[in-house]
Chains A and B, each alone.
Chain A
Amino acid sequence: KAGVTQTPRYLIKTRGQQVTLSCSPISGHRSVSWYQQTPGQGLQFLFEYFSETQRNKGNFPGRFSGRQFSNSRSEMNVSTLELGDSALYLCASSTGGGVEGEQFFGPGTRLTVL
């Protein structure tokens, strides 16, 4: 099975711009979660989507949003970028719950905001 893929792998933006990151889960997985990783805050949960619905949300401002499509692919969007949004954004997929619920991570998208 192919693993979780994320595109693009690297991105450079300037303050005030917006960005969209994409995540394709493992085939058959219906849950996609997003995490932000920074040196200062570590790994923080952004949100989780399951069957096109946001099931859980972390403590991030409304500039961070996401969605999931019927094929389980997910996108996250960050509007009005700030310098502090520079981070590695990791996507994880899982079957969606129960004992099979361990998450498998993609390689991440490294976002740099100048």
Chain B
Amino acid sequence: AQKVTQAQTEISVVEKEDVTLDCVYETRDTTYYLFWYKQPPSGELVFLIRRNSFDEQNEISGRYSWNFQKSTSSFNFTITASQVVDSAVYFCALSEPDKDSWGKLQFGAGTQVVVTP
């Protein structure tokens, strides 16, 4: 069963528009970690953020912000005032350490973001 769902396959925006990427996860563990990674055309996955299940505080880092809501099992990601360099595939991932699987990230299918000038 898919544990991380990214329902949006592709989102196209014009530069300076905001874009929100949805991520819904599924776990029975009380302790878990959620991640967002960016994969530009070069292929390397770039770490953006980690959030643990006990910290529901939203976070903002520059133009990036994250909204974590345990009640809806969602961890959404917003890029404010998008730029062409934001064009990439963005992955949401889940880690369930209670299963002694720190090294196992379960990824969603990814959302392709296309930002046009």
Name A's B-contacting residues (CB within 8 A). 31-33, 35, 42-45, 48-50, 55-56, 58, 88, 90, 92, 94, 96-99, 101-108, 110
- Pick the residue among B37, B100, B105 that contacts A55 (CB under 8 A): B100
B67 within 8 A of A: no
- Pick the residue among B33, B43, B50, B106 that contacts A108 (CB under 8 A): B43
| Those of B28-51 within 8 Å (CB) of chain A | 33, 35, 37, 42-47, 50
Name B's A-contacting residues (CB within 8 A). 33, 35, 37, 42-47, 50, 52, 91, 95, 97, 100-110
Q: Can you list 17 A-B pairs with a CB-CB distance of less than 8 A?
A: A31-B103, A33-B104, A35-B107, A42-B108, A43-B91, A45-B104, A48-B104, A49-B103, A56-B101, A92-B103, A101-B95, A103-B103, A105-B37, A105-B44, A105-B47, A107-B43, A110-B43
- From A42, which residue of chain B is reached at the shortest CB distance? B109
Chain B residues in 8 Å Cβ range of A96: 102-103
- Pick the residue among A32, A44, A45, A105 that contacts B45 (CB under 8 A): A105
Query: What is the minimal beta-carbon distance from B52 to any residue of chain A, in angstroms?
Result: 7
- Pick the residue among A33, A90, A107 that contacts B103 (CB under 8 A): A33
Query: Which of B95, B103, B104, B105 has the largest number of chain A CB atoms within 10 A?
Result: B103
Query: What is the minimal beta-carbon distance from B7 to any residue of chain A, in angstroms?
Result: 14
- From B44, which residue of chain A is reached at the shortest CB distance? A107
- Pick the residue among A58, A104, A110 that contacts B104 (CB under 8 A): A58
Question: Beyond A88-B43, A104-B47: 4 further Cβ-contacts under 8 Å?
Answer: A33-B103, A42-B108, A44-B107, A107-B44
Q: Determine whether the beta carbon of B45 is less than 8 Å from that of A56.
A: no
Cα separation A102 to B47 with both chains bound (whole Å): 8
Chain A residues in 8 Å Cβ range of B103: 31-33, 48-50, 55-56, 92, 94, 96, 101, 103
- Pick the residue among B35, B43, B104, B107 that contacts A42 (CB under 8 A): B107
Chain B residues in 8 Å Cβ range of A98: 102
